[in-house]
Amino acid sequence: MIVRLMGGGGQFKVDDSLLDRLNELDEQAVAALERNDEEELDARLDEMADLVQSNGEPLPENDLAPSDVVIPPSDLTLEETRRLLSDDGLIPDLPAAG
Amino acid sequence: MAGLMSRAAMVIKAKFSKLLDRAEDPGETLDYSYERQLQLLQNVKRGVADVVTAKKRLQLQSDKLEQSLVKLDTQARQALAAGREDLARAALERKAAAQAQLQDLDRQLQGLEEQQQKLVSSERQLSAKVEAFRTQKETIKAQYSAAEAQVRIGEAATGIGEQMADTGLAIQRAKDKTESMQARAGAIDELVESGALEDFTSDQTQLDRELAQVASQGQVDSELEKMKAELDAGEKQKELGS
C-alpha cells in the first residue's frame, strides 16, 4: 500500500498490516474533527504520519505511482482541514499552461 | 464521513481527473499535462523566493530589535548612574516590550522557515516526478497504440497529479502566510508613522533626549565647578599678590 504524507512529506510504501492501526487512528481523527477538537486531531494525524514514516519505506521521488491513501497535514486549522476534505476544497486549481 | 485518509485521496484524484478529461488525443493530453507541470514548477520556485524575501525582512526587523535591547540596557545603566531611577525604569520597561516583540518575530520567522522547508521539499519531489514524466511521455508516444497509451497516461498522470495537488497546496499556504506577515509588518509601520507606537528602533527616542539632557546637565555642572575653582584660584592669587 502506498501512503502520501501531505505537506511535503512524500510517499511511503507500507505493509498492509499497518492499515488496521492507521484506520483506528483515522477514526479517532474523524471523531476529533467532528467535535472541533483541533489538538486531538493534530495529535492523531501526527501519530499516523509517524507510524508511516517509521514503518514504511520511502518511495523514490521520481516514482509516478499514485497513493492509496493520503494523510492530511497536522498544521491546518479545523476549518482548513474541512475544506481540504470537501469537493471544491482547499487545494488550489492547477495553473493554466503557457 | 469516510476516513480522512481515503477522503483526502479521493478529493485529490477528483481535482486532477478534470485536467485529463480535456484532450481527446493521448499525445495532446501528455503535452498539456507536462506544460502545466512546468508551470507549477515555476510557481513553486517563485513561492520559495517570496518566502526567502519575507524572512529577510523579518530578520532585519529582528536585528534592529536586538540592537535596541543592548542600547536600552546601556541607557538604563547610564540613567541609574546619573541617579535618575525614573529614566532607568522607563528604559527597562521599553526593553521588556522590545523583548516581547522580538520573541513574536522569532516565532514568525520559525513559521516561515517551516513553510520554506516544506516548499523546498515539495519542489524537489515535483521536479523529480516531472523529469520522470517527461521520459515516460516520450516512451508512451513512441511505443504504444492509442488505446494502450491512454491507460498508461492515466497511470502516470494520476501519480504526478497527486504531487501537483500537494505542491499547489504548499504554494498556497506559503503565500497566505507570507501575505499575512507582510500585512502585519505594514500595519506596524503605519502605527509607528502615526505615532501610536513608539518605534524602539528610531534613532532618537524620548529616552535618548532625556538622557542627553542628563548628560549635558552633568557636563554643565562640572564645567561650572571647574570655572568656580579657577575663579577661586584667581582670587587667592590676587590676595597673595596684594
ipTM of the complex as predicted: 0.91
Question: CB B165: neighbour CB atoms within 10 A?
Answer: 26
Contact at 8 Å (CB) between A56 and A14? yes
| pLDDT > 70 in chain A, percent | 96
How many helices and strands, by DSSP H and E, does chain A display? 3, 4
- How is the beta sheet containing A2-5 ordered, strand by strand? A57-58, A10-13, A2-5, A69-71
**pLDDT digits over B144-194, tens only?**
887 788 788 877 888 888 899 899 988 988 898 888 887 777 766 665 555
Give φ, ψ of A75 to 5 degrees: -95, 20
Interatomic CA distance for residues A33 and A44, integer angstroms: 10
Interchain CB distance below 8 Å, B40 and A94: yes
For B100-156, write each residue's pLDDT tens digit: 888 988 988 898 898 899 999 999 999 999 999 999 888 888 888 877 887 888 778
B197: Cα within 13 Å, side-chain hemisphere: 14
Whether the model pTM is above 0.95 = no
pLDDT at A98 over 70: no
Cβ separation of B170 and A8 shorter than 8 Å?
yes
Residues 110-129 in B contacting A (C-alpha not used; CB under 8 Å): 114, 117-119, 121-122, 124-125, 128-129
Identity of the amino acid at B157: A
Evaluate whether B81 touches B147 at the Cβ level (below 8 Å). no
B11, B19, B169: residue with CB nearest A85: B11
Q: What's the grid cell of residue B208?
A: 535618548
Q: Is B3 close to A95, i.e. CB distance below 8 A? A: no
pLDDT for position A90: 79
pLDDT confidence bin for B21, thresholds 50/70/90: low
pLDDT of B242 > 80? The answer is: no
Whole-number pLDDT of residue B1: 46
